[in-house]
Amino acid sequence: MQLAPEEADLWSMHRAASPLIGTAVHNGHTVRSDLVGLMALDAAGRLREEDPFTEYTIRDMPNRVVFHRSRFEIDLNRARDGAVYLTPEQAWGLEVWAELPGAELVAASLRIHDAYYASLKHMLSQIEAEFGGFVLLDMHSYNHRRNGPDGAPSDPAEAPVINIGTSSMDRARWADVLDPFIDSLRSFQFRGQGMDVRENVAFQGKGEQTRFVHEQFPTTGCAIAVEFKKVFMDEWSGEPDREALVELRRMITASLPVLLAALRARG
């Protein structure tokens, strides 16, 4: 259920003849060797704030982009000027560094950020030219047991199983795509209950990738931020819940014909 990238790997792209794209830009855990020795935050601490297994949920999507580096090396979902966490305030109060990386190391990380967005724009431009428009599902996850492994979880009223973020989206323009997608997710049963899917509750979809898509492709690109509550794993041990992951993947796969139909109906 997890990829095993090589140390030098940055990201993987799988290109298909389809207007549907899935991304998992916080799936990665690797940190390059010239940085990891400077870090105060250990591997378990980093993993807790990463989005492991989000790549698994998009394996049936035709086009896929998966980033293999940790967000603690470079966060692709932050604007360039904040994409390297240098202060605890940028990283949920965590002390990331025992020794701050120098300017050259930071610049090397920012070059990855630049290269990723150049590559993404090229890919999306090709898909736009071929199909006239596209939908990108930007997969993330979030912690709901921040009080410790034995502490009380977050209040479910403020922590949906799936949070759909639409902050940067022209909601009226894309309602005919977004609403059927949300309805499709809600039609699924998860652990004996209807899937709890809400919009802009725990998060608002203010990440850099969706903003970038809507800026660069304002009339042809619909980028939907999908945040799974970490019901699919133990966020403290990192152990996956295989049954939950299979169900979430099946749910995303079932939504793909709905998205295709919505795109085709737009003409």
CB 57, CB 245: distance < 8 Å: yes
Query: pLDDT means per 10 residues in the chain (267 residues)?
Result: 92 98 98 97 97 98 98 98 97 97 98 98 98 98 92 92 96 98 97 95 91 98 98 96 97 98 94
Take residue 62 and report the two structure tokens written for it.
């035709």
Amino acid found at 206: K
How high is the pLDDT of residue 222? 98
The pLDDT score that the predictor gives to residue 150 is 87
- Which secondary structure element, helix H or strand E, spans residue 252, and what is its range? helix 242-265
Which residues does residue 162 pair with via DSSP β-bridges, in sequence order? 197, 228
Residue 152 tokens read as 């009380």
| pLDDT (0 to 100) of residue 267 | 77
The dihedral sign for the CA sequence 37, 43, 46, 50: positive
Task: Report the alpha-carbon distance of residue 59 to residue 248 in Å, rounded.
Answer: 11
Total residues belonging to the chain: 267
Q: At residue 179, what are phi and psi to the nearest 5 degrees?
A: -65, -45
Say how far apart CA 47 and CA 132 lie, in whole Å. 38
Class of CATH domain 11-265: alpha beta
pLDDT value of residue 195: 97
Kindly state the helix (H) or strand (E) to which residue 63 belongs, with its residue range.
strand 63-67
Domain boundaries, the chain: 11-265
pLDDT for 246: 97
Which pLDDT belongs to residue 205? 82
DSSP letter at 199?
E
User: Rounded CA gap, 146 and 61, in Å?
Assistant: 31
> CA 28 to CA 51: how far, in whole Å?
8
